[in-house]
């Protein structure tokens, strides 16, 4: 499932295909996001926004067996 809000803001979401980091690019960003702030058409602000979206989506993952 692609994430609509992320696509609206960044044209990307965590479900999008990942690409290998070329030399000089952020390997961790390419592994998790699929691109980085050094990629053509991207900047570091977009990379930071993508990390925020990733963190938000992880927070939204339902946690099983709530005590209440
Ligand atoms: Zn997507
Ligand atoms: Zn890159």
Per-residue pLDDT of the chain (68 residues), as tens digits, is: 899 999 999 999 999 999 999 999 999 999 999 999 999 999 999 999 999 999 998 887 666 666 65
Six token digits for residue 19: 């690409």
**What is the Å distance from ligand 2's center to 55 Cα?**
19
How far apart CA 1 and CA 21 sit, in angstroms, is 24
**What is the Å distance from ligand 2's center to 63 Cα?**
32
Residues 6 or more apart whose CB falls under 8 angstroms from that of 48 comprise: 37
**What is the Å distance from ligand 2's center to 26 Cα?**
6
- pTM, to two decimals: 0.82
């Amino acid at each position: 499932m692609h994430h609509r809000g992320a696509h609206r803001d960044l044209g990307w979401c965590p479900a999008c295909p990942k690409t290998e980091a070329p030399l000089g690019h952020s390997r961790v960003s390419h592994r998790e996001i699929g691109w980085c702030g050094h990629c053509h058409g991207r900047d570091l602000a977009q990379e930071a926004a993508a990390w925020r979206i990733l963190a938000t989506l992880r927070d939204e993952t339902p946690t099983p067996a709530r005590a209440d």
